[in-house]
Amino acid sequence: MKKKHKILIIGGGAAGLVAAVAASRNGAEVIILERMDRVGKKILATGNGRCNLTNINMDIKRFHSSYPKFIKGVLNRFDLRQTLDFFEQMGIAYKVEDAGKVFPMSEQASSVLDVLRHELQLLNVQEECNAEVIKIQRKNNQFILSLKDGRKISGDKVILAAGGKSSPNLGSNGSGYELVIPFGHKLISTFPALVQLVLDAWFLKRLKGVKFNGKVSIVEDNNILQTEYGEILFTEYGISGPPILQLSRKAGEVLHQKKSKPFVSLDVFPDLSEEHIENIIMSRFSYHPEKTIEFSFVGMMNKRLIPVVLKEAGIEDLNKSCTQINAKERKNIIKILKNWSIPVKGTQSWMQSQVTAGGIDVRDIDPNTMESKLIPGLYFAGEIMDVDGDCGGFNLQWAWSSGYIAGECSSKS
């Protein structure tokens, strides 16, 4: 009779839980070691508590890595269709929303965690919470894990699914990297992604809470690196909103390289040309030439935005009448409305970020099995690797795909 593998999974997040299901379905004895007081905390927070399971528009271009070739094989080996079938068979009915985002019909992230844990209970997977692994050793084809509380647990295989550094309050604090660096695995330096941007501007406190539907670009040395559309929100530290999160990876990359300073370029009226805006402004001025320049824009844009836009356009006296505004000043106002350039000082912290850019170098991992090329029997899953995706379900798809492959292959070999 074939010996039953004993597999130790470090990390009870999305990747670790799916790895546990796949491994135990293959007959392995599985123990999940989770440093928090319960598994799946980050799953509960995804998609604003609704869990954006995956995305129908799965595309390799929506993922990032120092070695992107690695990603394709993994996503093909456990693909979108297999992911949807996997969850549907466990009870998750799903629906597709804007931009291809897939959510459970229940609208509850908790239902995703519930069905995963129910499956693990049926498969007799052992969950050990408050179990922080501080060291991995390999002796006589066995792995020995040392826990912070002094315990030692041994097994035949290890799946490292400890996450990156984002949202440390939900479980991942970067400690997983230190477990495998002694074995020769390299770390591609990390920075926060899918995170709000910190801007260098005098007006941020004045605009806190102001939002608009606009266009935003990340610009470096006058080159537009990426452009997104959607609801943009000013905050006391900078700028937020879905398009900002999408751009933040590119902004973080530029900041991390420290070669030059990126800027955000805002277009407050993306559906209108400069000429159209000028015609609107001229009409407004001609209807009520006696109005102050500040009051003349009431009804055209958010009231709190008006004095800031005018001052950014170089107009200090906001009580000037419309008739006193010359052609150059008018052009400056239009320039701010269509191409408002603001320096990016940084990003918000790891605590506010949704995902980690960088991680364990994937060139030392076999994409067909997720096994280490350096240490036989050691497997990787999820965000701990140097792979991250865009907003919209791509990061969870990476967790499901890499987790399933790691669980399946570790329990077969």
Tell me the domains of the chain and their CATH numbers. Answer: 6-191+359-412 (3.50.50.60), 196-347 (no CATH)
As a whole number, mean pLDDT of residues 158-178 equals 95
Please give the pLDDT value at position 258: 80
Beta-bridge partners for 55: 101
CB 33 within 8 A of CB 147: yes
Report how far residue 10's alpha carbon sits from residue 138's, in angstroms, rounded to the nearest whole number.
Answer: 15
Residue 312 has pLDDT above 70, yes or no: yes
CB 131 within 8 A of CB 147: yes
Biggest CA–CA distance in the chain, Å, is: 94
Report how far residue 380's alpha carbon sits from residue 373's, in angstroms, rounded to the nearest whole number.
Answer: 11
Question: What would the pLDDT profile of 205-224 be if each residue is shown by its tens digit?
Answer: 999 999 999 999 999 999 99
Helix axes 274-287, 327-338, angle to 10 degrees: 130
User: Which of 105-109, 257-261, 287-291, 385-389 is predicted least confidently?
Assistant: 257-261
Please give the pLDDT value at position 210: 98
Give the position of tokens 């356009």. Answer: 313
Report how far residue 233's alpha carbon sits from residue 213's, in angstroms, rounded to the nearest whole number.
Answer: 9
Of 84, 34, 87, 79, nearest in space to 58 by CA: 79
Q: Can you tell me whether residue 246 is helix, strand or coil?
A: helix
C-alpha dist (Å) from residue 268 to 58, 120, 243, 290, 315:
30, 49, 13, 26, 18
Identity of residue 208: K
178: confidence class by pLDDT, cuts 50, 70, 90: very high
For residue 152, how many other CB atoms are within 10 A of its CB?
10
Q: What angle do CA 7, 13, 15 make, to 5 degrees?
A: 65
> At 378, phi and psi to the nearest 5?
-105, 125
Please give the pLDDT value at position 2: 54
Question: What would the pLDDT profile of 384-393 be if each residue is shown by its tens digit?
Answer: 999 999 999 9
Beta-bridge partners for 213: 231
Question: What would the pLDDT profile of 330-342 be if each residue is shown by its tens digit?
Answer: 999 999 999 999 9
What integer best gives the mean pLDDT of the chain? Answer: 96
Residue 410 has pLDDT above 90, yes or no: yes
Question: What would the pLDDT profile of 81-129 be if each residue is shown by its tens digit?
Answer: 999 999 999 999 999 999 999 999 999 999 999 999 999 999 999 999 9
Of 299, 300, 318, nearest in space to 308 by CA: 318
As a whole number, mean pLDDT of residues 390-410 equals 97
Please give the pLDDT value at position 4: 81
Which pairs count as long-range contacts for 275-282, CB under 8 Å and 24+ apart, including other chains? 277/334, 277/337, 277/338, 278/330, 278/334, 281/330, 281/333, 281/334, 282/330
pTM exceeding 0.85:
yes
As a whole number, mean pLDDT of residues 234-244 equals 97
CB within 8 Å of 85: residues ≥ 6 apart: none
The token pair at 186 is: 């390299």
CB 34 within 8 A of CB 12: yes
As a whole number, mean pLDDT of residues 347-376 equals 97
Report how far residue 45's alpha carbon sits from residue 57's, in angstroms, rounded to the nearest whole number.
Answer: 22
Identity of residue 298: V
Q: Can you tell me whether residue 52 is helix, strand or coil?
A: coil
Please give the pLDDT value at position 1: 40
